[in-house]
Structure 1
């Protein structure tokens, strides 16, 4: 017994113990098969593309407000909704150079209350584009608007009286 303890607590024994602990931590860290963005499609370990769709259908920035007849899923949006989306995109680009509060005040009438609350404190300097670069393309309840550095995708909902508001904002860099 003394000989075993002497070996374990020797210089070499301690190195072996530390090495086993480090390898154990690495092995545990690599066992992430059930995490949403690890590149697998679940516990079976089948390879797949790692996407945020594994976590949620939305990116978490804003949520769709689909209550009663507010969301169009199988049919195209009316032209009023597309026009409203383009109007929002132009204001979102901040052509007047507003500060944070002035910018928010300029886009607030085009947003749902929940989305406007999420935009509180956003600095308009962080908007990653400067101009609309093409025609808006409706797709279900969403409108994709090409900008000079990417695509702004807006989810539109109809509120009382045929008024259309932006309920979700998504940006994809090109």
Structure 2
């Protein structure tokens, strides 16, 4: 038993263990690529048990699924949501020249928890604009804020985070340069 443990925990044993783990991960990754992503779970749709709308190419835009009474997809967002989007845009532009952490702290109250986590560590120097130059417009759940070098499009959701109780929050940020 001691000899087996010495072999396993020697540098050669550890190398073999790491090699086996790497090969296992590669095998699982290859298996996952072979699995159809069409929702049939391996069932032949010609048998009539499962159907598929087919794969859709990801356009790169974040979308929010909406269910229940809180959906505003066919109606205009309330003015409160648009105002929150504009306030976020003004903080996002970092007019006060805050440090990365100070900037993150200033935009965090406007973001969903997931969005705030995604923005952690972002350098405010990478913000591609300096000022709001027009009126914000709402379409569905999205608010477009015209800036000096493009348009900031914010997806708004009603919810809460550690700083805001039940209000409008930014769940996705999209930038289109003009």
When normalised by structure 1's length, the TM-score is 0.63
Quote the Cα distance in structure 2 between the aligned partners of 1:82 and 1:64: 17
Structure 2: give runs of 5+ residues left out of the alignment: 1-55
Displacement of 1:159: 1.3
Aligned to 1:90: 90
Quote the Cα distance in structure 1 between the aligned partners of 2:111 and 2:68: 18
Structure 1 segments of 4 or more deviating over 2 A?
Answer: 54-59, 62-71
Given that 1:76 and 1:139 are in contact with CA atoms closer than 8 Å, whether structure 2 keeps it comes out as yes
Given that 1:66 and 1:157 are in contact with CA atoms closer than 8 Å, whether structure 2 keeps it comes out as no
Given that 1:132 and 1:147 are in contact with CA atoms closer than 8 Å, whether structure 2 keeps it comes out as yes
Judging changes above 3 Å, is the alpha-carbon distance between structure 1 residues 119 and 70 closer, same or farther for their aligned structure 2 residues?
Answer: farther
Quote the Cα distance in structure 2 between the aligned partners of 1:58 and 1:68: 26
Larger Rg over CA atoms: 1
Aligned to 1:103: 103
Aligned to 2:159: 159
Aligned to 1:77: 77
Structure 1: give runs of 5+ residues left out of the alignment: 1-53
1:34-49 to 2 correspondences below 5 Å: none
Judging changes above 3 Å, is the alpha-carbon distance between structure 1 residues 69 and 106 closer, same or farther for their aligned structure 2 residues?
Answer: farther
Aligned to 1:55: 57
Quote the Cα distance in structure 2 between the aligned partners of 1:117 and 1:67: 24
Displacement of 1:72: 1.4
Task: Pick which of 150-159 and 69-78 moved more.
Answer: 69-78
Quote the Cα distance in structure 1 between the aligned partners of 2:171 and 2:67: 12
Judging changes above 3 Å, is the alpha-carbon distance between structure 1 residues 141 and 107 closer, same or farther for their aligned structure 2 residues?
Answer: same
Report the aligned-residue RMSD.
1.8
Displacement of 1:63: 5.0
